[in-house]
Amino acid sequence: MGNVFLRRLSRWQAETERDDFADLYTECYRDAPGTQPLTRQEFIERFSEDVQQPEFDMLVANDPTLAGCAYGFRVDRDSRWWEQFQGIPTEIDELTASRQIFTVAGLMVLPRQRHKGVASKLQDRLLDRANAAVAITVIEPGNEAARAAYQKWGWAKAGELNPHADIPPLEAWARCL
Protein backbone atom coordinates (compact mmCIF):
# COMPACT_ATOMS: atom_id res chain seq x y z
CA MET A 1 0.00 0.00 0.00
CA GLY A 2 3.03 2.29 0.01
CA ASN A 3 3.08 5.43 2.08
CA VAL A 4 -0.67 5.70 2.53
CA PHE A 5 -2.05 5.88 6.06
CA LEU A 6 -5.65 5.54 7.20
CA ARG A 7 -7.48 7.57 9.80
CA ARG A 8 -11.03 7.72 11.08
CA LEU A 9 -13.05 10.91 10.85
CA SER A 10 -15.82 11.96 13.19
CA ARG A 11 -19.16 13.09 11.79
CA TRP A 12 -18.15 16.69 12.52
CA GLN A 13 -14.82 16.30 10.69
CA ALA A 14 -16.57 14.71 7.70
CA GLU A 15 -19.03 17.60 7.51
CA THR A 16 -16.25 20.15 7.86
CA GLU A 17 -14.21 18.56 5.06
CA ARG A 18 -17.09 17.84 2.68
CA ASP A 19 -15.72 20.16 -0.02
CA ASP A 20 -12.51 18.12 -0.03
CA PHE A 21 -14.58 14.95 -0.49
CA ALA A 22 -16.51 16.60 -3.32
CA ASP A 23 -13.17 17.37 -5.00
CA LEU A 24 -12.09 13.77 -4.44
CA TYR A 25 -15.36 12.49 -5.93
CA THR A 26 -14.98 14.73 -8.98
CA GLU A 27 -11.42 13.54 -9.56
CA CYS A 28 -12.29 9.87 -9.04
CA TYR A 29 -15.25 9.87 -11.42
CA ARG A 30 -14.05 12.38 -14.01
CA ASP A 31 -13.21 9.74 -16.64
CA ALA A 32 -14.84 6.65 -15.14
CA PRO A 33 -16.33 4.55 -17.97
CA GLY A 34 -19.83 3.22 -17.53
CA THR A 35 -20.84 5.75 -14.88
CA GLN A 36 -23.12 8.75 -14.76
CA PRO A 37 -21.40 10.74 -12.01
CA LEU A 38 -23.25 13.21 -9.87
CA THR A 39 -22.47 16.87 -10.24
CA ARG A 40 -20.26 18.29 -7.51
CA GLN A 41 -23.30 19.90 -5.86
CA GLU A 42 -25.35 16.68 -6.08
CA PHE A 43 -22.50 14.82 -4.40
CA ILE A 44 -22.33 17.40 -1.59
CA GLU A 45 -26.10 17.10 -1.03
CA ARG A 46 -25.98 13.28 -0.94
CA PHE A 47 -22.88 13.27 1.28
CA SER A 48 -24.55 15.73 3.69
CA GLU A 49 -27.52 13.34 3.98
CA ASP A 50 -25.25 10.32 4.46
CA VAL A 51 -23.28 12.01 7.25
CA GLN A 52 -26.52 12.46 9.20
CA GLN A 53 -27.42 8.76 9.09
CA PRO A 54 -27.32 6.73 12.32
CA GLU A 55 -23.92 5.25 13.13
CA PHE A 56 -22.18 7.02 10.24
CA ASP A 57 -18.53 6.00 10.02
CA MET A 58 -15.74 7.21 7.75
CA LEU A 59 -12.11 6.41 7.02
CA VAL A 60 -9.75 8.40 4.82
CA ALA A 61 -6.48 7.46 3.16
CA ASN A 62 -3.73 10.08 2.97
CA ASP A 63 -0.46 9.97 1.00
CA PRO A 64 0.07 12.67 2.63
CA THR A 65 -2.84 14.45 0.89
CA LEU A 66 -6.32 12.98 0.59
CA ALA A 67 -6.03 9.92 -1.67
CA GLY A 68 -9.26 8.08 -0.90
CA CYS A 69 -12.09 7.45 1.52
CA ALA A 70 -14.75 4.95 2.51
CA TYR A 71 -17.87 5.71 4.48
CA GLY A 72 -21.18 4.21 5.39
CA PHE A 73 -23.88 3.77 8.01
CA ARG A 74 -26.35 1.34 9.56
CA VAL A 75 -29.57 0.84 7.63
CA ASP A 76 -32.97 1.11 9.24
CA ARG A 77 -35.90 -0.84 7.73
CA ASP A 78 -38.15 2.21 7.99
CA SER A 79 -35.77 4.54 6.18
CA ARG A 80 -36.69 6.08 2.86
CA TRP A 81 -33.34 4.83 1.58
CA TRP A 82 -34.10 1.14 2.28
CA GLU A 83 -37.62 1.37 0.82
CA GLN A 84 -36.10 2.00 -2.62
CA PHE A 85 -34.56 -1.50 -2.78
CA GLN A 86 -36.23 -4.17 -4.88
CA GLY A 87 -35.61 -7.91 -5.04
CA ILE A 88 -33.49 -8.04 -1.89
CA PRO A 89 -33.47 -11.57 -0.41
CA THR A 90 -35.83 -11.93 2.54
CA GLU A 91 -33.03 -12.98 4.92
CA ILE A 92 -31.19 -9.69 4.23
CA ASP A 93 -34.35 -7.60 4.48
CA GLU A 94 -35.19 -9.19 7.85
CA LEU A 95 -31.80 -8.12 9.23
CA THR A 96 -32.81 -4.46 8.88
CA ALA A 97 -35.29 -4.92 11.73
CA SER A 98 -32.37 -5.52 14.10
CA ARG A 99 -30.16 -2.92 12.35
CA GLN A 100 -27.67 -5.58 11.23
CA ILE A 101 -27.15 -4.08 7.74
CA PHE A 102 -24.31 -1.64 7.10
CA THR A 103 -24.18 0.16 3.79
CA VAL A 104 -20.96 1.22 2.17
CA ALA A 105 -22.30 4.50 0.80
CA GLY A 106 -19.01 5.67 -0.68
CA LEU A 107 -15.65 4.19 -1.63
CA MET A 108 -13.32 6.41 -3.66
CA VAL A 109 -9.62 6.20 -4.44
CA LEU A 110 -7.70 8.60 -6.66
CA PRO A 111 -6.39 7.08 -9.91
CA ARG A 112 -2.76 7.42 -8.75
CA GLN A 113 -3.47 5.09 -5.80
CA ARG A 114 -5.58 2.48 -7.58
CA HIS A 115 -4.38 -1.12 -7.88
CA LYS A 116 -2.24 -0.68 -4.76
CA GLY A 117 -4.65 -2.19 -2.23
CA VAL A 118 -5.92 1.16 -0.90
CA ALA A 119 -9.60 0.53 -1.70
CA SER A 120 -9.63 -2.96 -0.21
CA LYS A 121 -7.84 -1.74 2.93
CA LEU A 122 -10.33 1.13 3.36
CA GLN A 123 -13.29 -1.20 2.81
CA ASP A 124 -11.99 -3.93 5.11
CA ARG A 125 -11.29 -1.51 7.99
CA LEU A 126 -14.67 0.17 7.58
CA LEU A 127 -16.49 -3.17 7.61
CA ASP A 128 -14.47 -4.45 10.56
CA ARG A 129 -15.65 -1.41 12.52
CA ALA A 130 -19.29 -1.82 11.36
CA ASN A 131 -19.98 -4.89 13.52
CA ALA A 132 -22.96 -5.86 11.33
CA ALA A 133 -24.10 -9.17 9.84
CA VAL A 134 -24.25 -7.99 6.22
CA ALA A 135 -22.84 -5.12 4.21
CA ILE A 136 -24.62 -3.72 1.18
CA THR A 137 -23.60 -1.25 -1.50
CA VAL A 138 -24.88 -0.07 -4.87
CA ILE A 139 -23.13 -0.11 -8.24
CA GLU A 140 -24.18 1.58 -11.46
CA PRO A 141 -25.09 -1.07 -14.06
CA GLY A 142 -22.34 0.02 -16.49
CA ASN A 143 -19.54 0.33 -13.94
CA GLU A 144 -17.60 -2.80 -14.83
CA ALA A 145 -14.52 -1.79 -12.81
CA ALA A 146 -16.54 -1.48 -9.60
CA ARG A 147 -18.41 -4.71 -10.29
CA ALA A 148 -15.12 -6.59 -10.86
CA ALA A 149 -13.58 -5.16 -7.68
CA TYR A 150 -16.57 -6.01 -5.48
CA GLN A 151 -16.74 -9.51 -6.95
CA LYS A 152 -13.04 -9.98 -6.18
CA TRP A 153 -13.71 -8.86 -2.59
CA GLY A 154 -16.44 -11.49 -2.09
CA TRP A 155 -19.57 -9.43 -2.76
CA ALA A 156 -22.54 -10.75 -4.80
CA LYS A 157 -25.47 -9.07 -6.54
CA ALA A 158 -28.49 -9.09 -4.23
CA GLY A 159 -31.14 -6.91 -5.87
CA GLU A 160 -31.63 -3.38 -7.15
CA LEU A 161 -32.08 0.14 -5.85
CA ASN A 162 -34.44 2.30 -7.88
CA PRO A 163 -34.15 5.85 -6.53
CA HIS A 164 -35.43 7.67 -9.64
CA ALA A 165 -37.85 6.59 -12.35
CA ASP A 166 -35.85 8.40 -15.04
CA ILE A 167 -32.60 6.43 -14.59
CA PRO A 168 -31.87 2.69 -14.71
CA PRO A 169 -31.89 0.95 -11.33
CA LEU A 170 -28.60 0.60 -9.48
CA GLU A 171 -27.34 -2.89 -8.65
CA ALA A 172 -27.42 -3.79 -4.97
CA TRP A 173 -24.47 -5.94 -3.89
CA ALA A 174 -24.13 -7.67 -0.51
CA ARG A 175 -21.45 -9.39 1.52
CA CYS A 176 -21.83 -11.39 4.74
CA LEU A 177 -19.51 -10.12 7.46
Encode burial over 11-36: b for 16+ CB neighbours within 10 A, e otherwise.
eeebeebeeebbebbeebeeeeeebe
CA 177 – CA 174 distance, rounded (Å): 10
Query: Which of residues 19 and 169 earns the better pLDDT score?
Result: 19
pLDDT, residue 148, reads 93
pLDDT, residue 71, reads 98
pLDDT(75) > 70? yes
pLDDT(1) > 60? no
Q: Assign 68 a pLDDT band (cuts: 50, 70, 90).
A: very high
Q: Assign 165 a pLDDT band (cuts: 50, 70, 90).
A: low
User: DSSP label at 125?
Assistant: H
pLDDT, residue 84, reads 78
pLDDT, residue 154, reads 95
Beta bridge partners of 123: none
Per the CATH hierarchy, to which homologous superfamily does domain 5-176 belong?
Gcn5-related N-acetyltransferase (GNAT) (3.40.630.30)
Please, what is the Cα angle at 43 between 42 and 47, to 5 degrees? 120
pLDDT, residue 79, reads 79
pLDDT(24) > 70? yes
pLDDT(32) > 70? yes
Give the domain ranges of the chain.
5-176
Query: Which of residues 89 and 150 earns the better pLDDT score?
Result: 150
6: closest CA among 141, 111, 107, 122?
Answer: 122
pTM: 0.92
Q: What is the mean pLDDT of residues 34-51?
A: 90
Mean pLDDT of the chain: 90
